[in-house]
Structure 1
Amino acid sequence: MTTPARDDRKDRPLLARLLWGIDRPQNAMRLFYALAIVCVGLGLADFAYHKHTEFPIEQFPAIYGLFGFTVYVIVIFLAKGLRPIVRRREDYYEPFAIDTEDERAAGSDPDAKGGRPHA
């Protein structure tokens, strides 16, 4: 696959030009570092102004970022714990798949041996 000439990029929308080549590893790392710098900058900016808070916990600097990150981590661990409960074997839906290699019709009795589906 060839990459288009640079002249073709001028015709693309702005967002497409900004994200051009983001799938390359060096560009993905650049994006990661840029986002890390923005997060640190916003966290430091929280020290620069006085907050008029409703609850005492809100006076803690960067509390919203820390709260968001904590909830994110909790959701990940809950998902890992929930996975064994909701996981199904790989061929769970196979009897009902339209691309199954069996002669049975999709949705027919799983114990059927082939032939015409039930009417």
Structure 2
Amino acid sequence: MSDPEDNPETYPALGRLLSWVDKPGSGNKIFRALVVVCGLLFIADFAIEKHSAFEMEDLPGFFAVYGFVSFAVLILAAKALRVLIKRPEDYYGNKAIDREEYPEAGLDEVRYDD
């Protein structure tokens, strides 16, 4: 039995408007649309007259390449930083809030195959 709260007709107006995002295949459509928009903006960069402060900014596609390289450097820096600050799972040991073990008798087992 479905939850009455999960009925799209009960959603607020914005929720009904954006409900298509939750459907299967929507992620691929969004990705394709972003690729098309980025491609069009890259092509438009060749047709726009620029008034830049530095000569390098006048190169077609400079900001697209600069943004991509900056993002890649940020990802690589994050991976390197992870090596430096990574801690083992039991780093806090007995001081951790969730350190206690739960007894099997105290856990409620719910079976859905009945």
TM-score, length of structure 2 as denominator length: 0.72
What is the alpha-carbon distance in structure 2 between the residues aligned to residue 25 and residue 88 of structure 1?
A: 37
What is the alpha-carbon distance in structure 1 between the residues aligned to residue 17 and residue 40 of structure 2?
A: 22
1:58-112 per-position Cα deviation (integer Å, ceiling 9, x unaligned): 111121121111100011111112211110001112322223227xxxxxxxxxx
Residue 24 of structure 1, CA deviation = 4.5
Residue 30 of structure 1, CA deviation = 0.6
Partner residue in 2 for 1:81: 80
What letter matches 1:74 in structure 2?
V
What is the alpha-carbon distance in structure 2 between the residues aligned to residue 57 and residue 72 of structure 1?
A: 19
Partner residue in 2 for 1:92: 91
SS, match of residue 99 in structure 2: coil
Taking a change above 3 Å as real, the CA distance of residues 37 and 77 of structure 1, as seen in their structure-2 partners, is same
Extract unaligned runs of 5+ from structure 2. 102-114
More helix by share: 2
- Deviating beyond 6 angstroms after TM superposition, the runs of 4 or more aligned structure 1 residues are none
Q: Percent identity?
A: 38
Taking a change above 3 Å as real, the CA distance of residues 64 and 87 of structure 1, as seen in their structure-2 partners, is same
What letter matches 1:80 in structure 2?
K
Partner residue in 2 for 1:7: 9
2:54 maps to 1:55: yes
What letter matches 2:9 in structure 1?
D
Partner residue in 2 for 1:114: none
Taking a change above 3 Å as real, the CA distance of residues 13 and 53 of structure 1, as seen in their structure-2 partners, is same
Partner residue in 1 for 2:110: none
Extract unaligned runs of 5+ from structure 1. 103-119
Deviates more, 1:67-76 or 1:41-50: 41-50
What is the alpha-carbon distance in structure 2 between the residues aligned to residue 28 and residue 49 of structure 1?
A: 31
